[in-house]
Amino acid sequence: MDLEDKSFCVSRETMLKNIALKISYIGKNYAGWQIQKDVPTIQGEIKKAIKKITGEDKIKVIGASRTDAGVHALCQVANFITSSEIPPERFKYALNTVLPDDIRILKSCEVDMSFNARYTPCEKTYKYIIYQGEIIPFLKDFVLSIKSELNIEKMQRCAEMLVGEKDFAGFTPEKTNTQRTIFKSQITKKGKFIIYEIKGRSFLRYMVRNIVGTLILVGLEKLKEEDFEKILKGEEKARFTAPPHALYLADIKYLGYDI
């Protein structure tokens, strides 16, 4: 009987699978990624969808990034442990049949049990889109319209200051552990669109939006480049947080995983 019990436990363990999801969503109708009481969230909708197709009640959905209310994702990554017999690659199709239209699973696959979307080392890319001029109605929920001319050269010089290992205390309300490493910080102009791209291992609360807001003030020449440098040194705090609706979690890459 003891042997049978042990055998049963082992077989139950081997049934468990760690499923990774590549997710895209429009953030407009949600209070961000993280589950909150009495408001719709991306994590909450995905958890409900998994429960619906698997019947499992205690699923924990772990996200790579806790995007703010209104922020969009071209590529968010999450994982969950399941004993469901649904093939890993079929979760994409099954979940998309029950999720709202503004949340889509782009890919589902099995990963090692040690994989954790939040804590497994990765590289994240955020993009912020500014539209130079009178806003086109169907773009209003996806870009920030600025009618005034922006000094792109000054913005780019300030953006380049962020590359490397820095203390970003001036760009976040967080008080501790504010050191971060940035691999890329770049402004690109394409016609009427100005795109800010920032790439790093991890980001602090409101960090990207505060950086963008400060770059905009530099571009409008309401802040000098020296003022930007003071904020970066922590001598002052960022004065403008860019609105969330033009921010995108654009890409996440994990070493050794093709998600």
pLDDT greater than 80 at residue 2: no
Residues that are catalytic: 68
Give the mean model confidence (pLDDT) for residues 212-217. Answer: 98
Q: Are 206 and 173 in contact (CB under 8 A)?
A: yes
Q: Are 158 and 150 in contact (CB under 8 A)?
A: no
- Tokens 């792109």 correspond to what residue? 152
pLDDT at 4: 44
pLDDT at 135: 83
Within a 13 Å sphere around the CA of 127, how many CA atoms are in the beta-carbon half?
Answer: 16
Calpha distance 37→31 (Å, rounded): 10
Q: How far apart are the first and last CA of the chain?
A: 42
pLDDT at 85: 96
pLDDT digits (tens, 9 = 90+) for 219-256: 999 999 999 999 999 999 999 999 999 999 999 999 99
pLDDT at 15: 87
* DSSP state, residue 68: P
pLDDT at 7: 42
Domains and their CATH numbers in the chain: 2-119 (3.30.70.580), 122-253 (3.30.70.660)
pLDDT digits (tens, 9 = 90+) for 31-71: 999 999 999 999 999 999 999 999 999 999 999 999 999 99
pLDDT at 14: 56
Q: Are 133 and 87 in contact (CB under 8 A)?
A: no
The beta-strand segments (E) located in the chain are 17-25, 62-63, 72-82, 103-111, 122-132, 144-146, 164-167, 179-190, 193-200, 247-254
Calpha distance 124→200 (Å, rounded): 6
Instruction: Kindly report the pTM of this predicted structure.
Output: 0.92
pLDDT digits (tens, 9 = 90+) for 85-144: 999 999 999 999 999 999 999 999 999 999 999 999 999 999 999 999 888 899 999 999
